[in-house]
Chains A and B, each alone.
Chain A
Amino acid sequence: MSFPGLYNYWIVIVLMMAGFYMVIAHGNLIKKVVGLNVFQVSVFVLYISMGKIKGGTAPILEDGFTLYSNPLPSVLILTAIVVGVATTAMALALIVRIRDAYGTIEEDEIDAQEEDS
Chain B
Amino acid sequence: MISVHFPVLLVVVPLMAAPVCLLLRRLPTATWVVATAVSWLCLFFAVSLLLRVLDGGPISYLLGNWAAPWGIEYRVDVANAFVLVIVASIGAIITPYTRQSVLRELSPRRIYLFYVMFCLNLSGLLGISVTGDAFNLFVFLEISALSGYALISMGRDRRALTATYRYVVMGTVGATFYVIGLGLLYMMTGTLNMADLAARIPAVSHTRTIHAALAFLTVGIGLKVAMFPLHTWLPNAYTWAPSAVTAFLASTATKVAVYVLVRVFFTIFGKADVFELFPVRDTLMGLAIIAMFAASFVAIYQDNVKRMLAYSSIAQVGYMILGISFATVTGLTGGIIHLFNHALMKCALFLAIGCVFYRVGSLNIRDYAGLGQRMPLTMAAFVTAGLSLIGVPATVGFVSKWYLVQAALERDLWLIAALVVASSLLAVIYIWRVVEIAYFRAPPEGAPAVAEAPVSLLVPTWIMALASVYFGIDATHTVDIAHKAATALLGGGS
* Chain B residues in 8 Å Cβ range of A95: 165
- For residue B390, CB closer than 8 A to chain A, the reply is no
Q: Is the CB of A94 within 8 A of B161?
A: yes
Select from chain A the residue with minimum beta-carbon distance to B170: A23
Binds A, one of B39-47, B178-186, B332-340: B178-186
Q: Is the CB of B162 within 8 A of A110?
A: yes
- For residue B68, CB closer than 8 A to chain A, the reply is no
Q: Is the CB of B165 within 8 A of A91?
A: yes
- For residue A36, CB closer than 8 A to chain B, the reply is yes
- For residue A66, CB closer than 8 A to chain B, the reply is no
Complex: A50 Cα to B186 Cα, angstroms: 9
Q: Is the CB of B179 within 8 A of A114?
A: no
- For residue A86, CB closer than 8 A to chain B, the reply is yes
Binds A, one of B1-9, B145-153, B244-252: B145-153
Complex: A90 Cα to B164 Cα, angstroms: 10
Complex: A83 Cα to B138 Cα, angstroms: 10
* Contacts A87-B168, A102-B158, A110-B162; A43 near B180 (Cβ below 8 A): yes
A interface: dominant SS: helix
| A side interface size, CB within 8 A | 29
Partner of A73 from B139, B142, B180, B186 at Cβ < 8 Å: B186
Partner of B169 from A36, A70, A79, A101 at Cβ < 8 Å: A36
Complex: A95 Cα to B142 Cα, angstroms: 19
* Contacts A46-B183, A76-B135, A80-B179; A87 near B158 (Cβ below 8 A): no
* Chain A residues in 8 Å Cβ range of B150: 90
Partner of B176 from A43, A94, A98, A102 at Cβ < 8 Å: A43
Complex: A86 Cα to B164 Cα, angstroms: 15
Select from chain A the residue with minimum beta-carbon distance to B167: A94
Shortest CB distance B173–A (Å): 7
Complex: A47 Cα to B187 Cα, angstroms: 9
**B68-87: which have CB < 8 Å to A?**
none
- For residue B159, CB closer than 8 A to chain A, the reply is yes
Shortest CB distance B247–A (Å): 22
Q: Is the CB of B168 within 8 A of A94?
A: yes
Interface core residue of B138, B153, B165 (most chain A CB under 10 Å): B165
Complex: A37 Cα to B149 Cα, angstroms: 18
- For residue B172, CB closer than 8 A to chain A, the reply is yes
Q: Is the CB of B146 within 8 A of A94?
A: no
* Chain B residues in 8 Å Cβ range of A47: 179, 183
Complex: A18 Cα to B159 Cα, angstroms: 29
Shortest CB distance A21–B (Å): 12
Q: Is the CB of A90 within 8 A of B158?
A: no
Select from chain B the residue with minimum beta-carbon distance to A98: B161
- For residue A8, CB closer than 8 A to chain B, the reply is no
Q: Is the CB of A46 within 8 A of B180?
A: yes
**A74-108: which have CB < 8 Å to B?**
76, 79-80, 83, 86-87, 90-91, 94-95, 97-98, 101-102
Complex: A18 Cα to B126 Cα, angstroms: 35
**B122-174: which have CB < 8 Å to A?**
135, 138-139, 142, 146, 149-150, 153, 158-159, 161-162, 164-165, 168-169, 172-173
Select from chain A the residue with minimum beta-carbon distance to B182: A76
- For residue A28, CB closer than 8 A to chain B, the reply is no
Q: Is the CB of B146 within 8 A of A50?
A: no
Interface core residue of B135, B138, B176 (most chain A CB under 10 Å): B176
Select from chain B the residue with minimum beta-carbon distance to A75: B135
* Contacts A73-B186, A90-B150, A94-B153; A40 near B172 (Cβ below 8 A): yes
Q: Is the CB of B164 within 8 A of A79?
A: no
Q: Is the CB of A87 within 8 A of B183?
A: no
Select from chain B the residue with minimum beta-carbon distance to A20: B173
Q: Is the CB of B165 within 8 A of A87?
A: no
Partner of B159 from A43, A94, A97, A114 at Cβ < 8 Å: A114
Q: Is the CB of A50 within 8 A of B183?
A: yes
8 closest A-B pairs by CB? A101-B158, A83-B142, A98-B161, A50-B187, A94-B165, A91-B168, A87-B172, A47-B183
A-B contact pairs, 30 of them (CB 8 A): A23-B169, A36-B169, A39-B173, A39-B176, A43-B179, A43-B180, A47-B179, A47-B183, A50-B183, A50-B187, A70-B190, A73-B183, A79-B139, A80-B138, A86-B142, A86-B146, A87-B146, A90-B149, A90-B150, A91-B165, A91-B172, A94-B153, A94-B161, A94-B168, A97-B153, A98-B158, A98-B161, A101-B158, A101-B161, A102-B158
